[in-house]
A and B are shown apart, each in its own frame.
Chain A
Amino acid sequence: MSDTGAGFVQLGILLVALAVVYRPLGDYMARVFTSKKHLKVERVLYRVVRVNPDSEQRWTTYAAGVLGFSFVSVVVLYLLQRLQSVLPFNFGRGTLDPATSFNTAVSFVTNTNWQSYVPETVMGHTVQMAGLTVQNFVSAAVGLAVAVALVRGFVRAKTDRLGNVWVDIVRGAVRILLPIAFLFAIVLIAFGTVMSLTKGVDVTGPDGVQHTIALAPVASQESIKELGTNGGGILNANSAHPFENPNSWTNLIEIFLILVIPVSLTRTFGTMVGNKRQGTALLAVMGILWAGMLTLIWWAEAHPNGPAALLAGAGMEGKETRFGIPSTALFANSTTGTSTGAVNGAHDSLSGLGGGGALLNMLFSEITPGGVGTGLYSILVFAIIAVFLAGLMVGRTPEYLGKKLGRREITTASIAILAMPTLVLIGSGVALMMKDTAGALGNSGAHGLSEVLYAFASTSNNNGSAFGGITVTSNFFQSTLGVCMLLGRFIPIIAVLCLAGSLASQKRVPESAGTLPTTGPQFVTMLAGTVLLVAALTFVPALALGPIAEALA
C-alpha cells in the first residue's frame, strides 16, 4: 500500500475509534458533572480537606477557587524543583535555577507544558511524579471545570450559582482522567513504553562502546500527558522518543488519547444543554478545521520544499522512520489543534507550510478541537461572537441557546478572545526588538521569525510544543513566556467564568422561527468562517513574514 493510502486507512481507524467512544464517553462526562452523588473516595477526600461538596458558588468564588488552586499549584511545583536536591529519586540531579523553576511551574499548572529544560538530565523522578504528573491531571481538570461552568451558564436560568469548583476539579480528575489514564498507561507499557523507577541501564553495544540509556516512570505520565492535552515529555524528545512512543501502535493510541476528551466534550455539551445537535454542530466546526489543517500539513510534508529537504529527497529531518510522513503530520496536527504540545517529530524542521499549519492551528485559539475543557469553552466564545454578528443579520438582538447576547456577554467574550493575540503579537514584537534574540534563534530569516512567533503562540495558547531551535533559557524568554502562559490561561478563564455568571443569571428565551438556528450546515459554516477570519485577519501580516515567506521563497 502506498504511503498516502496507508495514511488514509490509519486516519479512518482513528476516526472510527473516536466515533465509537463519542457517545458513551460524552454522556458519561455529562453525568459526572450533573450527578448529585459523591463517590466514597471523593467523600473521604472532601472530609479530609474540609470542603462542603454540596454548596454551590457564584462565578466570583468559582474563579477565586480556580485562581487560588492554580496559585498554590505554582508555588508547590516551584518549591519541589527548588528543593530537588533533598528529594528521593533525584539521582544526583540538583536543584533547578529560579528562572527555569518558575517557567516550568507556570508551564505545567497552565496546561502548557512548555519545557525549557532537558528532563532526563535535570528532572528527578519525584518532581516528575509528585509534581509534574499531578499537574498533568489537575490542570486538565481545571479546564474541564471551567468548561462545565460555562455550559451550566447556558443551562441554568435566573441563578447566580455555577457549581462547586472543588467538586468539579475532583470529579474531573478522579472520575474521568484517572481511570482512562490508568488503563492506557498499562496499554502503553504492553506496547513497549517504559515504566521504571531506576535512573537508567548501562549497556555495552555490539561495537563494544559503553552507553547509559536513561529510564524514567514514563507510562504513567505519558498517558495523562496525552489524555489531559498537556504534552510535557518526561524525556527530551517527547513523543518522538522511542521510550515514550515506541511504535506506530502507540503513536495512534497517543493521537487517540489527545483527541478523545476534547472531541467527546461536544457530546457532553449537547447532552447538558438538552440538544445533542448543538454539540454536533460544534464538533463539525472543529472537525472541518482539523481536517483542513491536516490536509495542509500532510500535503506540505509530503511535498518537500526548501533546499535541505530537496537535497535529501524527502522532508525526513526531525521525523522518525517508524512514523514516516503521514503519521507525523497526523500527530502534529492533533497536538497543535488541541493545546497538547507533545510532538513525535521536530516541528522546527517541518516545511514552511507544514510548520505554518501547526502554528496556525494554535493561532485559531486552540479549538480544533482544543484542549481538555479549554477547547469547548474557547469555541463557545467564538460561537457567541459568530451568533452576535449573524443574529443581527436576522434582525433580532442575538441569542445563543436561549440566552441574549448583550453588552456583558460580548465584553467578556471579547476579552477571552483578545488575550491571546495581544500576548502573541506584543510578545513576538518585543522579542524581535531585543538584540539578543537573533543569537537565540536556531534558524535565520523567515524561519527564525517563525520560531519566535511559534514560541509566543505556543505559550499564549498553552500548547507547549516548540520550534525547538530557539534557545529560551535566557531570563527574558523564561519570564516573558511564563507571563504569556499565565495570562493566556487565566485571562480567558476569568472572562469565561464571568460570562458564565452573566448567562446563568439570565432567563431563558424560548426558541422560535425567528431565532437564528445554531445547528445545521449554515451555522457550522458561519462559525468556522468566524474562527478562520479572526485568526487570519489578526495574524496574516505576521505569518506573511514567517511561514508564508518561507513557503513562497
Chain B
Amino acid sequence: MTATTTKDTQRTSESPEQHAEHAGRSVSAGVFNPKQLWSSLPDALRKLNPRHQLKNPVMFVVWVGSVLVTVFAISDASVFSIATALWLWFTVLFANLAEAVAEGRGKAQAESLRRTKKETVARRLGANGLEERVPGIDLKIGDLVVVEAGEVIPGDGDVVEGIATVDESAITGESAPVIRESGGDRSAVTGGTTVLSDRIVVKITTKPGESFVDRMIALVEGASRQKTPNEIALTILLSVLTIIFLLAVVALQPMADYSGKQQSVIVLTALLVCLIPTTIGALLSAIGIAGMDRLVQRNVLAMSGRAVEAAGDVDTLLLDKTGTITFGNRRATEFVPVGSSTVDDLAAAARLSSLADGTPEGRSIVELCVERHGLAVEAGANELAGEFVPFTAQTRMSGIDLNGRQVRKGAASSVRAWVVEHGGVVPDEVNTVVDGISQDGGTPLVVAELSEGVASVRGVIRLSDVVKPGMRERFDELRAMGIKTVMITGDNPLTAKAIAEEAGVDDFLAEAKPEDKMALIRKEQEGGKLVAMTGDGTNDAPALAQADVGVAMNTGTSAAKEAGNMVDLDSNPTKLIEIVEIGKQLLITRGALTTFSIANDLAKYFAILPAMFVAIYPGLGKLNIMHLHSPNTAILSAVIFNALVIVALIPLALRGVRYRPSSAKALLRRNLLIYGLGGVIVPFAGIWLIDLVIRLIPGIG
C-alpha cells in the first residue's frame, strides 16, 4: 500500500516536468498514418449512401451533382465527361474517407475497451446479507456487490465498505494500481477494472449499458456524436454559401443562353462543385471527431463535443494549488539558525530529528541537509540506536532521543513550550524569524535541543510550497491568450498571496470552501465569462457541474465524475491547460480550413470562367492567366484539384493546425496569412500543374 502511494506521488511529480517541457511548444497531436487511408476505404464506400450524405448539405450537393454528371456522361460519353464524372465521385469519396479515417482511430480504441467489457458474474448481497451470483448485466442501481482480490468489478459504483488496490489499466492505460476505499474522495470504482487485493463492497451507481466504459466506447467511436453549437453555426454558413453558389450557377444558364451559347450540365455542375466549400464541407466532421480524439490520446474523455468547444472559450481557469501549481507537499528550503547556533549545528540537529521521520516534510529536510551541507543520507550505526519520537496531535512535535540528547522539531508554540518546560529560554529572535517565514507563505518548523540539561532553540526550518518549474511561463502564456488564472487553496490569505505571487497567477481564493468555489464560478459567469476547473471530491460536484468545463479526476468520486463534462484518466490537474489548448486548436482548424476553402474559389473562377465563355466572348480569354491548355483541361483540372486538396488536407484536419499560445491578434495574422493568402495562391499552382499533366491524356480536347 505504501509503495502504491509513493508511486502515485512520483507520478504527479513527474508530469509537471514533462509539462514544463511542453510549455511554450505547440500542441501536437496524434500521429497520422497514411495506411489509415487505405484501411478506411471500405467505410468510405459505405458512406456513399445518400442517406448518410444528407447530413452534410455541402457534400450532398456534390453527391447529387455526381449522379447528374454520371447520367449525362453515360448518355454523351467522352473522355472529358467520363473523367469529370469520375473525379466528382472521387470528391465525395475523399470526403467520406476523411470521416472514416477520423472514426477509424476511435474504433481501434473502442475495440480495446470492449475487451474489458467481458461478461462478469456479480456476487450480489441480498437484503438478508446472503450472497447470490447474478450476471453483471442484471445489476440495478443501488445493488450491493462484493468484490475480492482477483475479481473484476461488475459495474460502476462507490465503495461502501473496505479498502482495496485496483488495477485500472484497462481504462487509463496506467499500470500502477490505485487505492479505492469507502468514504472520502477515492470511493469510485469503474466496471471492468480488477481488484488486486483485499475485499470491498460496491454500491452500483449506473445501469448496465450506461456505465462509464459504455459511454467511453460510444464517445471514442463517435456514435453519440452530436453536432456542437459552433459546428451547427458553421454548417449554416456553409449551407448559405452553397445556396448562393447554386443560385449563381443556375442563373448562369439563362445568361449564357442569352449571350449565345448554353453550357452543358456537366460543365455547370463542375463549376458548382468547385465553388461550393467542399474542402471544409468534407473535413468538418473529421475535424470534430479528431478534436475529441486528441483529448482521448491525452487520456481525457470529453462527455460531449460541446465541452471541447467550451474549453477553447474559457476565460477563467480555477486551479487547485496543491498538485497543480505546487508540488503536493511542502519542502524544506532553508535553515535559519538562532542564538549562538550555526547553520551547521541547526542542519545537524534537523537531520537527526528527521532521520526516522517518513513524512514527505521529514524526507525533504534530510534531502536539504544532504544537498546543502553534505551530510549523510542514511543514519549511521550510532544514530540508529536513537529512539524516534513520532508526531502526535497532542505534542505537535517529533524528534529523536539519542544518548541523552533530545532533539525536537515542530510548530513554534509547541517547541517553545517544550523548551520553557525544560528550563530553557526562547530568544525573541525566534518569534521574528517565525513570523517572517509565515508572512512569506512558508511554514516554520522550530528545532530545539536538550543536551546536558540545557534546552535551547537551534533555529528554524523553512518549509515552503514549491511551485512547479515552468508554471510562471505557463501562466504568462495563458494571460497572453486572454485567460485569467485563479489559484484555489485552503491556505490562509497570507500564505496564499505569497504563493500566488511566486507562481504568477492572476488571482487566488484562500481558505476556500466548496461554497466559495461555487460563488466564484457564479460571479465569473455572471460577468459573461466561461470557467474551467478540476475537481475530484463529492463536495466539488456542484462546482464541477456549474463550471462550463469541469474536469473530474478519474481518482475522484463517481459524483464528481458525473458532474463534470470531462474526466481525466491520469488525474493530472495540470492537464486543464492542455485541454484549453486543444479546444482552441479545434476551433482554429475549423476556421482555417473554411477560410482556405473559400479562398480557393478565386483561382477556380480564373480557370473555369474563361473556359466556359471564351467561345462567346473571345475577350474573356484574357482571364485565362494560368494559360491552361483548353477549356476541357481547365475545367477538369479545377475539379481534380478540388478533389485532391481534400485528401491533402486530411492529415491537417486530423492533427489540427499548429497552435502556439499567443494573442488573438497574432494568431489571426498568422492564420490569415497561411490559410487565407495560401488559399488564394495554392490552387493557382495546383490547377496549373494538373493541367500540365492532363493535357497529355488523349482525347481530352
> CB–CB under 8 A between A and B in the complex?
yes
Interface residues of B in 648-668 (CB under 8 A from A): 659, 663-665, 667-668
> Which A residues are CB-close (under 8 A) to B230?
392, 397, 406
Q: Are A542 and B664 in contact (CB under 8 A)?
A: no
When C-beta atoms are compared, the residue in chain A nearest to B594 turns out to be: A389
**CB within 8 Å of A: which B664-690 residues:** 664-665, 667-669, 671-672, 675-676
Q: Does B590 contact A (CB under 8 A)?
A: yes
B194 within 8 A of A: no
Candidate in B483, B527, B587 with the most chain A CB atoms within 10 angstroms: B587
Residues of A within 8 A of B594 (CB): 389, 392
Contact flag A449-B588 (CB < 8 Å), given A394-B668, A512-B315: no
Pick the contact of A395: B259, B599, B605, B667 (CB < 8 A).
Answer: B667
CB of B312 within 8 A of CB of A395, answer yes
Fill in one digit per residue for A533-544: 1 if any B CB lies within 8 Å of its CB, else 0: 110111111101
Which residue of the partner chain, among B232, B251, B483, B601, contacts A514 with CB atoms under 8 Å?
B483
> Residues 563-604 of chain B: 1 if any A CB is under 8 Å from the residue's CB, otherwise 0?
000000000000000000001110110111011001101100
Question: CB-nearest residue of chain A relative to B664?
Answer: A394
A272 at the interface (CB under 8 A from B): no
Given A397-B313, A432-B257, A542:B617 Cβ within 8 A: no
Whether B250 sits at the interface, judged by CB under 8 Å, is yes
- Residues of A within 8 Å of B591, CB to CB, are 389-394
Chain B binding site: helix, strand, loop or mixed by DSSP? Answer: helix
Given A397-B313, A538-B248, A545:B671 Cβ within 8 A: no
Q: Which residues of A contact B484 (CB under 8 A)?
A: 512
**Chain A residues whose C-beta falls within 8 Å of the C-beta of B592 in the assembled complex:** 392-393
Assess A449 versus B664: contact at CB under 8 Å? Given A395-B587, A537-B598.
Answer: no
Segment touching B, from A50-58, A99-107, A329-337, A407-415: A407-415
Residue of B nearest to A533 (CB): B598
The answer to whether B619 has its CB under 8 Å from any CB of chain A is yes
A192 lies within 8 A of chain B by Cβ? no
Q: B303-327, CB under 8 A of A: which get 1 and which 0?
A: 0000001001101000000000000
B529 at the A interface (CB under 8 A): yes
For A449, list chain B residues within 8 Å (CB): 255, 258-259
- Whether A410 contacts B233 by the Cβ 8 Å rule is yes
B309–A397 touching, CB < 8 Å: yes
Identify which of A142-150, A343-351, A502-510 touches chain B: A502-510
- A534 to B248, alpha carbons, bound, how many Å? 12
Q: Is B613 an interface residue (CB 8 A)?
A: yes
Known A-B contacts A394-B588, A548-B620; A385 and B275 likewise in contact (beta carbons under 8 Å): no
When C-beta atoms are compared, the residue in chain A nearest to B592 turns out to be A393
List the A side residues contacting B245 at CB < 8 Å: 537-538
Q: Is the CB of B255 within 8 A of A395?
A: no
Q: A388-B233, A552-B620 are in contact. Are A545 and B255 (CB under 8 A)?
A: yes
CA gap between A552 and B609 in the complex, in Å: 14
Given A432-B257, A513-B664: A392 and B588 within 8 A (CB)? yes
Is A402 interfacial (CB-CB < 8 Å)? yes
Interchain CB contact under 8 A, A513 and B248: no
Residue from A393, A407, A539, A544 having most chain B Cβ neighbours under 10 A: A393
Contact B528 A393 (CB under 8 A): no
B379 at the interface (CB under 8 A from A): no
Closest to A542 in B: B255
User: Contact at B583–A545, with CB atoms within 8 Å?
Assistant: no
Q: Does B229 contact A (CB under 8 A)?
A: yes
Considering the chains assembled together, what is the distance between the CA atoms of A548 and B614 in angstroms?
Answer: 12
CB pair B480–A513 under 8 Å, yes or no, is yes
Q: Report A390-431 residues with CB < 8 Å from chain B CB.
A: 390-397, 402, 405-407, 409-411, 414, 417-418, 421-422, 425-426, 428-430
CA distance A395 to B592 in the complex (A): 10
Alpha-carbon separation in the docked complex, A507 to B588 (Å): 24
**Contact: B664 with A425, CB < 8 Å?**
no
Produce 1/0 per residue, B193-236, CB < 8 A to A.
00000000000000000000000000000000000011011101
| Min CB gap B219→A, angstroms | 21
- Residues B247 and A421 in contact, CB atoms below 8 Å apart: yes
Question: What B residues does A509 contact at CB under 8 A?
Answer: 315, 528-529
Q: Are B248 and A549 in contact (CB under 8 A)?
A: no
- Of the residues B234, B259, B620, B659, contact of A392 by C-beta under 8 Å: B234
Interface window among A27-35, A274-282, A515-523: A515-523
- In the complex, which residues of chain A have a beta carbon less than 8 angstroms from the beta carbon of B244? 418, 421-422, 534, 537-538
A513, B528: Cβ atoms closer than 8 Å: no
Does residue B360 face the partner (Cβ distance < 8 Å to A)?
no
Q: Is the CB of B247 within 8 A of A425?
A: yes
Task: Please measure, in the bound complex, the distance between the C-alpha atom of A552 and the C-alpha atom of B618, giving whole angstroms.
Answer: 9
B595 nearest CB neighbor, chain A only: A389
Contact with A along B235-265 (1 / 0, CB 8 A): 0110011011101111111111111000000
Q: Which residues of B contact A391 (CB under 8 A)?
A: 591
Chain B, residue nearest A508 (CB): B528
CB of B482 within 8 Å of the partner chain: yes
**Complex Cα spacing A536 to B312, Å:** 33
Known: A421-B244, A425-B248. Is A517-B233 also a contact (CB below 8 A)? no
* Interface presence of B481 (CB below 8 A): yes
Contacts A393-B671, A422-B243, A433-B257 aside, 17 further interface pairs with beta carbons under 8 A come to A389-B594, A395-B585, A395-B587, A396-B313, A396-B587, A426-B250, A428-B251, A446-B617, A513-B481, A513-B482, A514-B315, A516-B664, A516-B665, A537-B601, A540-B605, A544-B623, A552-B623
Chain A: residues with CB nearer than 8 A to chain B? 385, 388-397, 402, 405-407, 409-411, 414, 417-418, 421-422, 425-426, 428-430, 432-433, 437-438, 445-446, 448-449, 507-510, 512-517, 520, 522, 526, 529, 533-534, 536-542, 544-545, 548-549, 551-553
A-B contacts, 8 of them at CB < 8 A, read A393-B667, A411-B233, A421-B248, A507-B528, A514-B482, A516-B665, A545-B256, A548-B620
Rank and list the top 4 A-B pairs by shortest CB-CB distance, nearest first.
A514-B482, A392-B591, A395-B584, A512-B482
